[in-house]
Structure 1
């Protein structure tokens, strides 16, 4: 019998109705300030995911034991940033209204604003944990308020003070750090202080956004704005496992740019990060 050839992330081929987690791609990189290419991430990750296993020896869990639906890539408007964000918001709102957890594959980091617009409406008391090399707190970038360099400032516009927690930050304009000092929690360079934040946020809805350039470029060179001095894969994995203790109501993994690592190692790392993230949040939700 012949069936349609539908490519999904490994182990995420369940039906929508039976799934508690919905992954989808947001292939958008129209505001990338240095090296574009993140629009190809979700497609590359689906294909390369079959080079890893559904089973995680780190967690002793298997994607085949949980129900995850892969909704494919959204067809986004590349010529209209606001419209693209609206399309992401609309899809996320549908997933949330159906009682499921959205897990987005970017794309540049600006796509997080689309999901957060829906999340903030559905969970007015949501808090955000951000793993990233960059603060992303600029008011504008070259006169544009919607940019991957401004995304967390735009999220702050939605949430206000003391609702955003940044880890791994090692790059940003001086004014970003000065502006954010009394508005967001920023831990530079690593995950120190994460345990205290987790204790503080227990019982609250939390959105986790992972910009993969939090990883050191020696581990993850395939990204648009690599920054030396990042964390290791194992450090990121441990941080994900810690955060999964919380009530994670949505998440994303973004900023893989496959063209900048022809070896495919960066895509393999991104696949493994997503697998571990899905398994971690599924056990708590």
Structure 2
């Protein structure tokens, strides 16, 4: 059984036994391709969450009414991506074995792969909903196949065609978009098509993994990230998309790519905290 973290995300102080959702952090950013700092994201979100209310007027729900356990951050090997992914996979698998939903806080986007590996073993018919500015479909980045620029390509290696649904994508090389046209369900620039997808996934009763790269937000809203891309969505658009995706059978999720030291105003961290609060409430 996992034990309480010293500092928890606000309102996430249920016991492990009673919890339906278990938070855990993966402070890893060793494959970051531009600006590092995402390893500090999980701790910053916990610390700054106390500037929020536990109550959401958007959903008329309160974190104190639910059962979320925050197990803290993993201690990961920065020198080995595979070692870090193995530890993430192990923690996600432990949470799933205990009948709970793992919710991973990154860290760079590569951390998603570790959680997806664990979730796929329990749910072999898994679909992935992916919010991001970047396609993340490179087969390798400067020779490395384990990179945050390749994470959805590695996920595709596991789940195959037609089971990765990508939204807000506005950056990638030509080959990524060509690969997506043949192998994934890619929606450029915004959340167009998400309501229809959510209806289909709900009717099909398939398990869903939701991965949120916070750089789907426009840099005017969220500058504190490693690879900001102009032309993103608004905070309110993202909240609506989260509520829409939550109508499906989500069995695991993550929020990643906050690099708090890149935004000394604290705006990006405050935004990430609110996104996490709304995601938790939508999933309860």
TM range (shorter): over 0.9
Alignment of 1:264-283 (within 5 A): 264-282=266-284
Deviation of 1:14 after TM superposition, in Å, equals 1.1
Deviation of 1:5 after TM superposition, in Å, equals 8.8
List per-residue Cα deviations over 1:49-82 (Å, max 9, x = no partner): 0000100000000000001000000011111110
Alignment of 1:21-170 (within 5 A): 21-170=21-170
| Contact 2:5/2:70 (<8 A) preserved | no
- SS of 1:30 mapped into structure 2: coil
Q: Unpaired runs of 5+ in structure 2?
A: none
Deviation of 1:253 after TM superposition, in Å, equals 0.2
Deviation of 1:38 after TM superposition, in Å, equals 0.2
Task: Give the whole-Å Cα distance in 2 for the aligned partners of 1:250 and 1:93.
Answer: 11
- SS of 1:87 mapped into structure 2: helix
Deviation of 1:159 after TM superposition, in Å, equals 0.2
List per-residue Cα deviations over 1:93-152 (Å, max 9, x = no partner): 000111100001000000000000001111000100000000000000000000000000
Q: How many residues align?
A: 279
Runs of 4+ in 1 over 3 A off after TM superposition: none
Deviation of 1:13 after TM superposition, in Å, equals 0.9
Counterpart pick for 2:241 among 239, 242, 246: 239
Q: CA 1:229 to 1:5, structure 2 compared with 1: closer, same or farther past 3 Å?
A: closer
Higher mean Cα deviation, 198-207 or 250-259?
A: 198-207
- SS of 2:8 mapped into structure 1: coil
Task: Give the whole-Å Cα distance in 1 for the aligned partners of 2:166 and 2:194.
Answer: 9
Task: Give the whole-Å Cα distance in 2 for the aligned partners of 1:62 and 1:113.
Answer: 30
**Which residue pairs with 1:253 in the alignment?**
255
Q: Normalising by the residue count of structure 2, what TM-score does the alignment of the two structures yield?
A: 0.97
List per-residue Cα deviations over 1:248-285 (Å, max 9, x = no partner): 10000000000110000000000000000000011xxx
**Which residue pairs with 1:193 in the alignment?**
193
Deviation of 1:6 after TM superposition, in Å, equals 1.7
Task: Give the whole-Å Cα distance in 2 for the aligned partners of 1:29 and 1:86.
Answer: 15
**Which residue pairs with 1:209 in the alignment?**
211
Q: Unpaired runs of 5+ in structure 1?
A: none
Task: Give the whole-Å Cα distance in 1 for the aligned partners of 2:216 and 2:171.
Answer: 10
Q: Normalising by the residue count of structure 1, what TM-score does the alignment of the two structures yield?
A: 0.97
- SS of 1:45 mapped into structure 2: helix
Task: Give the whole-Å Cα distance in 1 for the aligned partners of 2:215 and 2:269.
Answer: 12
Taking only aligned residues, the RMSD between alpha carbons, in angstroms, comes to: 0.9
Q: CA 1:204 to 1:262, structure 2 compared with 1: closer, same or farther past 3 Å?
A: same
Deviation of 1:200 after TM superposition, in Å, equals 1.6
Deviation of 1:36 after TM superposition, in Å, equals 0.4
List per-residue Cα deviations over 1:174-205 (Å, max 9, x = no partner): 00000121110000000000111112211110
Deviation of 1:15 after TM superposition, in Å, equals 0.8
